[in-house]
Structure 1
Amino acid sequence: MVSRSRLKSILAGIALYAIAAAAIGYFGINAYTGRYGLTAQQELDQEIIALTSELVRLKNERAEGEKRVALLRSERLDPDMLDERVRYQLDFANPADLVRKIPAR
C-alpha cells in the first residue's frame, strides 16, 4: 500500500512536469511561428518597406498630376499644355508635326 501511494505521487509529479513542459513548448512554438511571432514580424517589416516605397511613388505621381492640372486652371492657363491636351483628346496633329506610326506587336 505504501508503494502504491508513493508510485501515485511520483506519477502525479511526472504528469505535472509533462503538462508544464507541453504548455511551455506550445507557447514557445507559437512565439516563433504564430500569427504574431518572430517570422510574422519579419514578413510584416518587409511588407511595410514595400508599401512605404509604393506610397512614395504614388505621392510623386499625384504631385506630378496636380502640377499638370494646375497648368490647365483658368486663372493660369498654359497654352502649350492646352494644345497638348486638345491634340491628345481629339486625336489631331499639327500639319507641321512629324507623325510616325508604330506597328502593333
Structure 2
Amino acid sequence: MWTRHHKKRRLGRLVVPVIAVAFLSYFGYHSIHGGYGLRATEEFDRQIAERQARLDELTQKRQILEKEVELMSDGSLERDMLDEKARLALNMSRSDEIVIFHRPAN
C-alpha cells in the first residue's frame, strides 16, 4: 500500500491562528466602534439625558398652560387673567397705566 507523506510546513501551522486573530479583531473592533458598540451606547445615553431634560421642560410648560386654561374656563373665570390675556393679545393699555413686560428666561 502506497501512502503519501506530507512535509509539515511552517505556513500550515499559522493558518488557524491567523484566522482566529482576524476573526477576533473584526468582532473586537465592532464591539467598540459599531452601531451598538460602546461608543454608540455612550451616545445613546447622552441623547436620553438631553431628551429627558427637554421632556421635563415641556411638562412644566404644559402644567403652566393647563393652569392658565383652568383659570379662564367658564366655571371659574378670573377677570384679571382674562384682562391680562386680552391686553397682551391686543397690545393695548390705558393711558394711566405703566406696562412692564416680563419674558421668561429660556
Bin for the TM-score computed over the shorter chain:
0.7 to 0.9
1:6 aligns to what? 8
Q: In the aligned structure 2, how far is the partner of 1:87 from the partner of 1:99? A: 10
Choose between structure 1 and 2: higher helix proportion.
1
Tell me the TM-score normalized by structure 1.
0.81
The answer to whether structure 1 residue 84 and structure 2 residue 81 are counterparts is no
2:27 aligns to what? 27
Tell me the TM-score normalized by structure 2.
0.81
**Count of aligned pairs:** 97
Q: CA deviation at 1:37?
A: 0.7
Deviations 1:47-102 (A, max 9, x none): 111111111111001100111111111111000000011111222102321248xx
AA aligned to 2:8 is R
The answer to whether structure 1 residue 44 and structure 2 residue 37 are counterparts is no
Q: In the aligned structure 2, how far is the partner of 1:5 from the partner of 1:13? A: 12
List structure 1 segments (4+ residues) > 2 angstroms apart after TM superposition.
Answer: 10-13
Deviations 1:18-73 (A, max 9, x none): 11110111001111111111111111111111111111111001100111111111
Q: Gaps (5+ residues) in structure 2?
A: 101-106
Q: In the aligned structure 2, how far is the partner of 1:6 from the partner of 1:72? A: 92
SS of 2:41 mapped into structure 1: helix
Q: Gaps (5+ residues) in structure 1?
A: 101-105
1:53 aligns to what? 53
Percent of aligned pairs sharing the same letter: 32
The answer to whether structure 1 residue 97 and structure 2 residue 100 are counterparts is no
